[in-house]
Amino acid sequence: MGNRRPFIAGNWKLNGSRQSVADLASAICTADLPETVDVLLCPTFVHMSDVLAVASNSAVQLGAQNCAIHAHGAFTGEVSVQMLSEYGCEYVLVGHSERRSLFAEDSALVASKCAAVQEAGLTPVLCIGETLEQRDAGQVKAVIDEQLDAVLGTAGVGSFASIIVAYEPVWAIGTGKTASPEQAQEVHALIRAKISALDPEIAQSLRILYGGSVKPDNAATLFAQPDIDGGLIGGAALDAQSFIAICTAAG
């Protein structure tokens, strides 16, 4: 984990009722979470204010799962970063693999979203990662390069001073198949080296999260890797005790 402050984010995706989300947020926000760890919860847009109501009395921060690239205008169904900010949101996930694959978001659009988040003064959690086919074809580095180059080309390496990167191998998301700590570390080191070649200082402080079937029983060994600075948690974030255990493992 190096000397970077650990960061654990829960991505609840499209789950829960108003009541169950409020209960889950309340259980997490009132828990005895380690003070040394940044904890983020990412509910759906409509659950944002209910989560804020309980999170605002705690150190837990609020994030969104997606955003528009526009601030306002004729963009039916979209939600802008400025609107999210008004609801206490401080982070936005951009480029999650489900957005890339199911909603046709390419790296150029992801880079625009990243820039929109930063322009509004919020922090992007930039998700990158390869599919199983790409891994099997030996394309991990090429995929990571393409996904990072889009952001580097748009906003420059300086933007990485306030970006959090999440490496999420697509084949490990929701499958119960975690990357081994060594597999994950190898890609995290590759990401850091790429940024380091452009700006060693920014690379040194860049937080790179691992996501993909992180559970309480594998969290500690993943977080023990030198370039893994925390996790982006899906399924296990829907269970308060599991999520709290993962936060504790990062502390």
**Nearest CA-CA partner of 211 in 248, 239, 243, 173:** 173
CA 126 – CA 166 distance, rounded (Å): 6
Looking at the Cβ atoms of 144 and 203, the one nearer to ligand 13P is 144
Determine which residue in the list 212, 228, 230, 242 makes contact with ligand 13P, applying CB under 6 A.
212
Q: Is 95 in the site for ligand 13P (CB under 6 A)?
A: no
Selecting among 96, 98, 105, 188, the annotated active-site residue is: 96
Q: Which two tokens stand for residue 251?
A: 């502390």
Contact 143, 97 (CB under 8 A): no
Determine which residue in the list 235, 240, 244, 249 makes contact with ligand 13P, applying CB under 6 A.
235
Selecting among 47, 98, 168, 188, the annotated active-site residue is: 168
Contact 148, 125 (CB under 8 A): no
6-45 residues near ligand 13P, rule: CB under 6 A = 11
Looking at the Cβ atoms of 83 and 236, the one nearer to ligand 13P is 236
DSSP annotation string for 53-79: HHHTTSS-EEEES---SSSSSS-TT--
Q: Is 130 a residue of the active site?
A: no
Query: How far does the chain reach from its first CA to its final CA, in angstroms?
Result: 11
Q: Is 188 a residue of the active site?
A: no
Determine which residue in the list 111, 234, 243, 249 makes contact with ligand 13P, applying CB under 6 A.
234
Give the residue numbers annotated as catalytic, written as ranges.
96, 168
Which stretches of the chain bind ligand 13P, using CB under 6 A? 11, 96, 168, 173-174, 211-214, 232-236
